[in-house]
A and B are shown apart, each in its own frame.
Chain A
Amino acid sequence: MAEATSQSNRQHWLLSLPAVVMFLGLLVVPLALTAILSFNAFDSTRGPLDEYTLSNYIEVFTDSYYYDLFARTALMSLGVTAICILVGVPETIILSRMRPAWQGAFFVIILGPLLISVVVRTLGWSILLGREGFINTTLLSIGLSDAPLQLMFSMAGVVIVLTHVMLPFMVISVWSTLQKLDPQIAYAARSLGAGPLTAFRRIVLPQLLPGILSGAIIVFTLSASAFATPALIGGRRVKVVTTAVYDEFLSSLNWPLGATVAVLLLIGIVLVVVGSNRIIERKFKQVFA
C-alpha cells in the first residue's frame, strides 16, 4: 500500500525532486523554447529575427509542399501499420502455439533487433535493396523480373524497412493481450460447436483487438517519427516530415520554419495517441474493464 508512514509527508518530494528538476530544465524548457522559436520571424540573410509572427504556420498551412509532406508521412505510416497488423498478428499467434523453449528462442530473434541500433538495421537493408543488391540479383537470376527494381530511394523501400523496424512492437503488443486471454474460452467455444476458424474469428480475434489497436498506435506514431530509415533509404526522393525538419535545421538553416514543422509533428502525434486512446477506451471499457 502506498500509505505514508509517520513523518513521510515531505518524503516523496525529496525523492522526486531530482527527476522534476531534470525534466523541467531539460525537457519542458527546451520544448517551450522550440514552441517560441516557431513563432520567430526568419530572414534568409540575417537568420532568425526577434520578431514574432504567424508566418511560419501560415506558410506550412498554405504551401502544398507541406501538405504533401504530411500526407506522405501519414500514408507511409498507415501502410507500415497495415502491414505490421497483417504480418505481426498471425506471427504472434504462431509464436503462442509453440513449445516454450522454441518460443523463448524466437522471441530473442524477433524482439532482439529492437536493441540493435536502427542505423545498423537500415544499413543491412540498404545492402539488400540496392540496384545490385541481393534482392535484385536474386530476382533477376531466377527470372522473376527482367529489370532491377528501384527499391532504394523509393517509398516501397522505406515501407519495407520501416516494417522491419516496427514489427517487434506489434508482436509485443499483441502478445501482451494474448497472454491475458483465458485459453478455456476458446475451448468453450469449440465445445459449443464452433469450428477452429469460427472460434478464432468470433471469440479470439475480438479479444485481441485492443492489443492490435494499441500496437497500431505505437507503430503509426513511431513510423511518423522515424528519421534514420527514411533518411537513408528514402534519401532526397522520399521526403517525410522528420527529414524535412532535419533539412530545415541543418541545410537551409531556417530554424523557425523547422521548429514549426516539428511542433506540428508533435501535436499531430499527441492528437493521434490521445484520440485513438479515447476510441479504444470508449469501445472496450465495458468489456475489458
Chain B
Amino acid sequence: MSNRSMGKNGPVSLIFHTLFTAFIVAPLIVIILVSFSDKGYISMPFGGASLRWYQAMLDAPELMGAIWLSIWLGLGAALLATAVSVPAAIAIARYRFIGRDAFTALLLSPLMMPHVVLGVAFLRFFSLMGWTGSFLALLLVHALIVVPYSLRLTLGAIIGLERDAELAARSLGASRWISFRRILLPLILPGVAGGFVLAFIQSFDEVTMTVFVATPGTTTLPVALYHRVALLTDPVTTSVSTVMIVGTMVLMFILDRVVGLDKVLIGKK
C-alpha cells in the first residue's frame, strides 16, 4: 500500500535511496562479478571472463558434498519442522488451554536465542549422547531451530481462517480427521508450503550453530564456505556464493508465488 500522506520523495530522498540500494546490493553484485573472472585471484571479470571457477567448484568434491548435504539436511529439517508445527499451530489457534502462551513462546524461542549459545549447547549435548558426527542429530537440531519459521507462517494461515467452515463440515457428517484433511489443510496449504520453503532456506543458510557441531562428515555448505573464507578468499568461494544467491532467488520467487513475499519477510497477516 502506498502511503503518500507524508508527501512525495524529493531529489534528496531519491539520492539517499539510490545510495541505500547500492549499499545493499553491492556485496552481492561484487560476488557475482568476481565469480566470472578468469584470473587465479580475486578480480573483476572485465579483463577476461570465464566459467573456470564454476568448473573448479564442480571439481571440488568437498564443496559438492557440502552442497548435497545441505540440500538433504534442509529438506529433512523443513519436513520435520512442518510435521511438528502444523499440529502445534492448530492447537495454538484453535484451542484455549493453560500454558498456551508459554507453549507458543517456547516454540518461537530459537528466534531470539544467539545461535552461538545453541551451538555450544548442542555440541555439549551431542558429545554426552555420543551423537557427534551424526547426520540425524544435525537434522534434528536444524529442524528445531527452523520450527519458528514454519510455525509462524502456518499460524498466520490458520488464524486468518474462520473456524465456521470446519464446523460446517463436521455438521455435514465429516469426522475430525476428514474435516482437517478436506477443509482445513487445503485452505492453509499455501501457508504450510511457504513455511516449508522458508524453513528450508533457514536451515540451508544456518552457519553459526552448525559450525560448532559440524564434523568432516557433516559439513554443510555455509560451514564449508565459512572455513574457506576464513583461510583465504579464493575465487571458488564466489562461484559457490553465486550459486547460493541464484538458488535463494529461485526459492524467493516460489515463496512469492505460494504465499507472497510480504507475508514471509514482513510477517503481515
Contact = CB atoms under 8 A, between A and B. Distances in A.
Do A and B interact?
yes
Interface of A: 1-5, 8, 11-16, 18-20, 22-23, 26-27, 29-31, 33-34, 37, 87, 90-91, 93-100, 103, 106-128, 130, 134, 164, 167-168, 172, 175-176, 178-179, 181, 183-187, 196, 199-200, 204, 221, 224-228, 231-232, 241-242, 245-246, 249-250, 255, 258-259, 262-263, 265-266, 269-270, 273
Interface string B193-208: 0000000010011011
Q: In this complex, which of A20, A224, A241 has the most chain B Cβ atoms within 10 angstroms of its Cβ?
A: A20
Contacts of B267: 172, 176
Interface string B119-140: 0111111001000000000001
B94 interface: yes
B6 A200 contact: yes
B57 interface: no
Contacts of A112: 248-249, 252, 265
B42 A127 contact: yes
A99 B1 CA distance: 8
A200 B100 CA distance: 40
Contacts of A15: 87-88, 90-91, 95
A281 to B, nearest CB: 16
Q: In this complex, which of B115, B125, B244 has the most chain A Cβ atoms within 10 angstroms of its Cβ?
A: B125
Contacts of B167: 5
23 contacts: A22-B84, A26-B140, A34-B120, A97-B3, A106-B17, A110-B24, A115-B201, A115-B252, A117-B204, A117-B207, A119-B226, A119-B241, A123-B27, A123-B225, A124-B31, A130-B42, A168-B265, A176-B268, A179-B268, A196-B7, A204-B6, A221-B114, A242-B208
Contact of B103 (A20, A22, A121, A270): A20
A250 B115 contact: no
Given A18-B84, A94-B13, A120 B31 contact: yes
B191 interface: no
B64 to A, nearest CB: 17
B245 A172 contact: no
Interface string B83-98: 1110110111111110
Given A30-B125, A113-B24, A181-B3, 6 more contacts: A97-B4, A97-B8, A118-B207, A119-B241, A232-B230, A262-B121
Give the secondary structure class of A's interface.
helix
A34 B90 CA distance: 32
Nearest to B170: A5
Interface stretch (B48-56, B104-112, B181-189): B104-112
Nearest to A250: B212
Nearest to B205: A117
Interface string B213-244: 00000000110011001100100011001001
Contact of A96 (B3, B27, B141, B147): B3
A227 B211 contact: yes
Q: In this complex, which of B94, B112, B116 has the most chain A Cβ atoms within 10 angstroms of its Cβ?
A: B116
B21 A265 contact: no
Given A94-B16, A127-B34, A34 B124 contact: yes
B266 interface: yes
B21 A97 contact: no
Contacts of A34: 117, 120-121, 124
B229 A27 contact: no
Contacts of B67: none
B20 interface: yes
Contacts of B84: 18-19, 22
A114 B265 contact: yes
Nearest to B42: A127
A27 B110 contact: yes
Given A19-B88, A34-B121, A232 B226 contact: yes
Given A19-B147, A26-B141, A96-B3, A246 B212 contact: yes
B3 A245 contact: no
A90 B20 CA distance: 10
Nearest to A121: B27
A172 B42 contact: no
Nearest to B107: A19
Interface in B71-85: 83-85
B123 to A, nearest CB: 6
Contacts of A178: 3
A66 B238 CA distance: 35
A15 B3 CA distance: 41
B161 interface: no
B265 A262 contact: no
